[in-house]
Amino acid sequence: MKTNVYLGLINSGKGQALYYARTKRKTIAKWKKRHIVKNIHDATFEFDNKKWDRNIVHTIVRQNDIDNIDVEIVYTKHNEHKDNKDWIWQENVIDTGFINTESGGKGRPKGRDDTRFPKGQFLWKIDSSIMDNVDLLLLRKFEVINQNKKLFQTTNNIIPYKTNLTDSAISKLDKFGTHRKQEYGNKLLDVYNIDKKRVWDFLDCYLHDIDDTIKLCQSNDVPYTMFNLDEDSYEDTFGWGKIQYRDLSHHKDVWHNREKYDIIENMAKEYVSQLSTQKFYHLTHV
């Protein structure tokens, strides 16, 4: 089976794809800036009346133009991920949004550097064999496609998008001031009251991301599949069988402040009402 490459950037459903892969015990690789982490689910066993998972983790780092591979065996408590819709948010508790203000952390903007291997060389090009038997690949920088055309011409490249633009805008406005370098550190209502066009431009960035990804694939003759997060089938697109939940990474599970939600919902509707979808390739060609 082909490797599924999830070509989604910020706020694009990567968490949901990871949930799906983990529940099916698939091999996951994350191509970061200076290293690649490949996590292989090796076995599930019982010890001390508890179930455990044994994972083999390969970390590929380039030093002095030589790839070094570190292999580590990791044991984690087994989680069936059944009837448990809260598990994924344990990984995202530091995300503070406009609606969900209960956590105290703050994400870092797009373009952040790797901190684990700061002296390692950027992995622009790799031996395609590194991706053998990988079921799901996530990329930090999509530009690596330019240097690895043959690899990505043989993978199932998935570009996610949404047709429910109001719902999409609500999620992104909730994270205004975090994660992206555009408007990083700024407060949503302050910017909206001063110049709402800056808010619309911020939301446009996410739509431009999708179009830029399409152009990148097209310029490299890399095939891609457009995946509608609101309507399309995970089972048909990824090919891993039945999925129990399809919205676990949606922000709605941590939205508690109804008054602030109404503010953002109205703002999102205003954005969509003035949005010219003709500006964006994927909204007129899918």
pLDDT in tens, 264-286: 999 999 999 999 999 999 999 98
Per the structure, how many domains does the chain have?
A: 1
- Res 94 pLDDT > 60: no
Q: What tens digit of pLDDT does each residue of 175-198 get?
A: 898 878 899 899 999 999 999 999
Query: How much is the pTM?
Result: 0.91
Domain coverage including residue 208:
4-284
Split at pLDDT 50, 70, 90, the class of 92 is very low
Q: Read out DSSP for the chain? A: -PPEEE---TTSSHHHHHHHHHHTT--EEEE-SSEEEEEEEEEEEEETTEEEEEEEEEEEEEETTEEEEEEEEEEEE-----S-TTGGGGG-TT---SS--SS---PPPTTPPPSSSTTSPP-----GGGGTT-SEEEES-TTHHHH-HHHHTSSEEEEEE-S-HHHHHHHHHHTTTSSSSTTTT--HHHHHHH-HHHHHHHHHHHHHHHHHHHHHHHHTT---EEEETTTS-HHHHH-S---S-S-TTSGGGG---HHHHHHHHHHHHHHHHH--GGG-HHHH--
